[in-house]
Structure 1
Amino acid sequence: MEISNAKQVINITPELQARIDELLSHYPADKRKSALLPILHDVQDAHDNWLSIELQDKVAEIIGIQPIEVYEVVSFYTMYNQKPIGKFMFEFCRTSCCAVRGTEDLMEYTCSKLGVQEGEVTPDGMFQVVGVECLGACGYAPMMQLGDYYKEHLTKEKIDTIIDDCRAGKIDLHKQAITE
Structure 2
Amino acid sequence: MAFRGARTLALGLRTAIPRVAGAAVRPGMASLARTSVAGQQRFLHTSRPALATLGVHKDTDYNNLDTDWEFTPESYKEIEVVLAKYPPNYKRSAVMPLLFIAQKQTEKMPEHKATGWVPLAAMNKIATVLDMPPMRVYEVASFYTMYNRQPIGKHNIQVCTTSPCMVCDAYGIVDAIKAHLKIEVGETTPDGLFHLMEAECLGCCVNAPMMQIAGPITHDGYYEDLTPESAIQIIEDLRAGKEPKKGSQIGRTTSMGLKKTALVDAPKAPECRADI
TM-score category, normalised to shorter length: 0.7 to 0.9
SS at match of 2:57: coil
Matching residue within 98, 101, 110 for 2:177: 110
Amino acid of the structure 2 residue aligned with 1:140? N
Runs of 4+ in 1 over 6 A off after TM superposition: none
Contact kept in structure 1, 2:176 and 2:232, CA below 8 Å: no
Amino acid of the structure 2 residue aligned with 1:132? A
Equivalent in the alignment of 1:169: 241
1:45 equivalent in alignment to 2:104: yes
User: Which is strand-richer, 1 or 2?
Assistant: 2
Tell me the TM-score normalised to structure 2 length. Answer: 0.58
Give the structure, 1 or 2, with the largest relative contact order (CA under 8 Å, sep 6 or more).
Answer: 1
Return closer, same or farther for 1:166/1:4 CA change in 2, 3 Å cut-off. farther
Matching residue within 115, 123, 131 for 2:190: 123
Contact kept in structure 2, 1:89 and 1:127, CA below 8 Å: yes
CA drift at 1:141: 1.2
1:2 equivalent in alignment to 2:74: no
- Report Cα offsets for 1:23-44 as digits up to 9, x if no partner: 2233222111122222211111
Return closer, same or farther for 1:99/1:47 CA change in 2, 3 Å cut-off. same
CA drift at 1:121: 0.3
SS at match of 2:156: strand
1:100 equivalent in alignment to 2:167: yes
Equivalent in the alignment of 1:159: 231
Q: Distance in 1 between matches of 2:78 and 2:164?
A: 38
Contact kept in structure 1, 2:152 and 2:192, CA below 8 Å: yes
SS at match of 2:189: coil
State the structure with more CA Rg: 2
CA drift at 1:4: 5.1
Structure 1: runs of 5 or more not aligned: none
Return closer, same or farther for 1:156/1:167 CA change in 2, 3 Å cut-off. same
SS at match of 1:46: helix
Tell me the TM-score normalised to structure 1 length. Answer: 0.86
- Report Cα offsets for 1:123-167 as digits up to 9, x if no partner: 111101111222222211111111222211111221122112211
Amino acid of the structure 1 residue aligned with 2:156? M
| Percent of aligned positions that are identical | 39
- Report Cα offsets for 1:65-105 as digits up to 9, x if no partner: 11122112112222211111111111111122212221112
Could you say what the CA RMSD is over the residues aligned between the two structures, in angstroms? 1.9
Return closer, same or farther for 1:143/1:20 CA change in 2, 3 Å cut-off. same
SS at match of 1:161: helix
Q: Distance in 1 between matches of 2:163 and 2:81?
A: 40
Contact kept in structure 1, 2:70 and 2:122, CA below 8 Å: no
User: Which is helix-richer, 1 or 2?
Assistant: 1
Contact kept in structure 2, 1:11 and 1:47, CA below 8 Å: no
Q: Which moved more, 1:23-32 or 1:140-149?
A: 23-32
Amino acid of the structure 2 residue aligned with 1:73? V
Contact kept in structure 1, 2:157 and 2:211, CA below 8 Å: yes
Amino acid of the structure 2 residue aligned with 1:23? V
